[in-house]
């Protein structure tokens, strides 16, 4: 278990000299330690602070699109990474599962060679491609950024539409 002072040092290391972590302000959550920046008026653009996981010491720099409370709640629910492998384990409502996954926006990358370069440009999976993948469970959708879509998955989970795990995508 990582204690507050060690967590603060890890938070500071995560942002380097771009921003100072306030040594006196913090929030302990179930899964981590949240540290805001020292001066909000000089805050790093695009970030509301840093959460350090209590067990792993991994620092997660928050975005700024949502309130800090939302991000802390999501972190405590396991949304603690930049990219995920979303694994669908069981489906209760197939149409709502497909619709949710279309909203989540998994992509596929098919490398193409042209003019001496290999292009790797992802494109969204179509509704039919998503439905086809769901024919065999567990269905894996890799390298998904969920930061802007956490509520979509929370709603599906709470509604019992499908059961899933969101794992850290390792490259």
Ranges of each domain in the chain: 4-76, 84-168
What's the confidence (pLDDT) of residue 24? 84
For position 45, what pLDDT does the model report? Answer: 61
Percentage of the chain lying above the pLDDT 90 cut: 77
pLDDT digits (tens, 9 = 90+) for 120-133: 999 999 999 999 99
Per-residue pLDDT at 26? 93
Q: Which pLDDT belongs to residue 44?
A: 53
pLDDT number for residue 101: 98
- Predicted local distance difference test score (pLDDT) of residue 171: 67
Contact yes or no for 65/148 (Cβ under 8 A): yes
Listed as ranges, residues in the chain with pLDDT below 50 are 41
- Pick the closest to residue 162 from 92, 102, 99, 104 (CA basis): 92
List the one residue out of 33, 40, 25 whose CA is nearest residue 7. 33
Q: Token digits for 30?
A: 């179930």
ω into 138 cis (within 30 of 0): yes
Which residue, 34, 118, 122, is CA-closest to 80? Answer: 34
Whole-model pTM above 0.85? Answer: no
């Amino acid at each position: 278990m990582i204690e507050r002072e060690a967590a603060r040092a890890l938070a500071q290391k995560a942002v380097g000299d771009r921003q100072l972590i306030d040594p006196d302000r913090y929030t302990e959550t179930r899964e981590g330690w949240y540290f805001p920046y020292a001066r909000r008026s000089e805050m790093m653009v695009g970030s509301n602070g840093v959460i350090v996981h209590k067990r792993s010491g991994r620092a997660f720099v928050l975005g700024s699109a949502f309130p800090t409370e939302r991000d802390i709640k999501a972190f405590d629910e396991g949304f603690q990474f930049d990219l995920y492998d979303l694994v669908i384990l069981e489906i209760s409502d197939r149409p709502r599962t497909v619709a949710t996954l279309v909203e989540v926006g998994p992509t596929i990358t098919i490398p193409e060679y042209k003019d001496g370069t290999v292009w790797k440009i992802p494109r969204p999976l179509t509704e039919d491609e998503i439905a086809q993948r769901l024919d065999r469970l567990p269905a894996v959708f890799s390298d998904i950024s969920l930061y802007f879509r956490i509520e979509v998955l929370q709603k599906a989970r709470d509604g019992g539409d499908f059961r899933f795990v969101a794992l850290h995508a390792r490259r």
